[in-house]
Amino acid sequence: MNSEFDIIRHYFSRAPKHALLGVGDDAALVACSPGKDWAISTDTLVAGRHFFPDVAPDKLAYKALAVNLSDMAAMGAAPRWVTLSLTLTEALAQNDDWLKGFASGFFALADLYQVELIGGDTTGGPLNIGVQIIGEIPAGKALKRSGAVSGDDIWISGELGNAAMGLAYLQRRLVLTAEEASPCLRALHAPLPRVRLGQRLLMLAHSAIDISDGLVADLSHILARSDVAAVIDLEKIPCSSAMKSRLSLGHTDRQLVIDCLLAGGDDYELCMTAPESKREAIVRLAHELDIPLSRIGKIMTGSGLTILTTTGNPVIVERKGHDHFLAR
Ligand code: ADP
Ligand code: MG
């Protein structure tokens, strides 16, 4: 039988590397670096809502940490410390393979980004994973949602819509070949948080957000916070060839993939705005980091988001993006 303390000691205790005090006391202790601000964020994953209850434990742990790392990326922060609030069912608390898988998925990603697990909480109940993350940013330099100004270019990293297409595929709402499905499932289960990119954007971008709820919803947060409007070109939004072929007029999946592209969420790519004077530097950065960065539109004065096709027709989005408390 695992007790609460067996689980903590066995699976989640490691000697601290940078923290002054890690797991095992009433609270962890960390030293604040001079000249830095802290970025603090938390994200919770709930079984049956954010993931299928039978998902592999390493994938689940990876995703729980990845979505938090993505929030650090969107602020331009270097992630440093995390805490983990784990609610486990009776069965999972006694399932050592599951716990081992969970810990290995968590620490694999934590090690990749050199974030340290310094504490948490372990309780019994329906499976629920809460991660809190703390990162550091040069003082006063954070990339906020409120920084966009009229004339800025709007940029997107990577491709959008893959995670939502992966989900539609698993839910049998969309048929994909195995070759088409594999990058979609990777985007859904193992998104790559754009941590290095975020830190490099501190000198280039005016504002940024990570796309967790869909481009329309998340870009709209920038517009509202910055009190500006935007126009984007549907055709310029970066997406896979599997999506492009289904975007053609008259394709039976067209509306579904448009919704994946614009309102799908879960891609954890970055959307940022930057002045035209930084275009060349951003293109160079894309080459250096080997991350595609696409310019999809402009920030303007006014309010609201307009999406145009090349023929100048506005696009209708049937889903506005994910919101836990709005009817879907
Ligand atoms: P308290 O009773 O003061 O809340 P706990 O008994 O809950 O302390 O936790 C004991 C120690 O183990 C604390 O340092 C806490 O931060 C850490 N801890 C508990 N659960 C986890 C977890 N899932 N991952 C990492 N550390 C954890
Ligand atoms: Mg506790």
Judged by DSSP in three states, 120 sits in strand
Other CB atoms closer than 10 Å to residue 304's CB: what's the count? 12
Q: Please work out whether the CB of residue 119 comes within 6 Å of at least one atom of ligand 1.
A: yes
Percent helix / strand / coil, the chain, rounded to 5: 40, 25, 40
Please give the torsion angle defined by the CA atoms of residues 224, 286, 246 and 52, in that order, rounded to the nearest 10 degrees. Answer: -70
Kind and range of the H or E run holding 116: strand 116-124
Q: Please work out whether the CB of residue 24 comes within 6 Å of at least one atom of ligand 1.
A: yes
CA distance 88 to 315: 44
Among 56, 77, 59, smallest CA distance to 68 is for: 77
pLDDT value, residue 318: 64
Question: Which residues are within 5 Å of ligand 2 (an ion), measured at CB?
Answer: 121
Residues 154, 296, single domain; the answer is yes
| DSSP one-letter string for 15-76 | --SSSSB-BTBSS-B-PPPTTEEEEEEEEEEEBTTTB-TTS-HHHHHHHHHHHHHHHHHHHT
Domain of 77? Answer: 4-138
pLDDT value, residue 320: 65
Residues 227, 287, single domain; the answer is yes
Give the CATH number for residue 60: 3.30.1330.10
* Mutation pick for ligand 1 pocket among 122, 129, 131, 134 (CB with most ligand atoms within 8 Å): 122
Nearest CA to ligand 1 atom 27: 120
Atom of ligand 1 nearest to the CA of 122: 20
Please check whether residue 313 lies inside any domain of the structure.
no
Residues 226, 193, single domain; the answer is yes
Domain boundary among 76, 110, 138: 138
Please check whether residue 314 lies inside any domain of the structure.
no
Residues 17, 75, single domain; the answer is yes
pLDDT value, residue 328: 45
* Mutation pick for ligand 1 pocket among 8, 13, 30, 106 (CB with most ligand atoms within 8 Å): 8
- Read off the amino acid at residue 327: A
pLDDT value, residue 166: 96
Residues 284, 171, single domain; the answer is yes
CA distance 298 to 230: 6
Residues 190, 300, single domain; the answer is yes
Among 80, 71, 88, 73, smallest CA distance to 118 is for: 80
Give the CATH number for residue 152: 3.90.650.10
Tens-level pLDDT at each residue, the chain (328 residues): 999 999 999 999 999 999 999 999 999 999 999 999 999 999 999 988 888 888 899 999 999 999 999 999 999 999 999 999 999 999 999 999 999 999 999 999 999 999 999 999 999 999 999 999 999 999 999 999 999 999 999 999 999 999 999 999 999 999 999 999 999 999 999 999 999 999 999 999 999 999 999 999 999 999 999 999 999 999 999 999 999 999 988 999 999 999 999 998 899 999 999 999 999 999 999 999 999 999 999 999 999 999 998 777 777 666 666 676 765 4
Residues 51, 66, single domain; the answer is yes
Q: What is the model's pTM?
A: 0.94
As for how many domains the chain has, the answer is: 2
CA–centroid distance, residue 48 to ligand 1 (Å)? 25
Tracing tokens 């989005």 back to the chain, one arrives at 317
Q: Please work out whether the CB of residue 23 comes within 6 Å of at least one atom of ligand 1.
A: yes
Please check whether residue 24 lies inside any domain of the structure.
yes
Judge residue 308's burial from the number of C-beta atoms within 10 Å of its C-beta, 0-12 exposed, 13-18 middle, 19 or more buried: middle
Please check whether residue 320 lies inside any domain of the structure.
no
Residues 74, 176, single domain; the answer is no
Please check whether residue 262 lies inside any domain of the structure.
yes
Residues 157, 108, single domain; the answer is no
Nearest CA to ligand 1 atom 1: 26
CB 83 within 8 A of CB 118: yes
Residues 115, 211, single domain; the answer is no
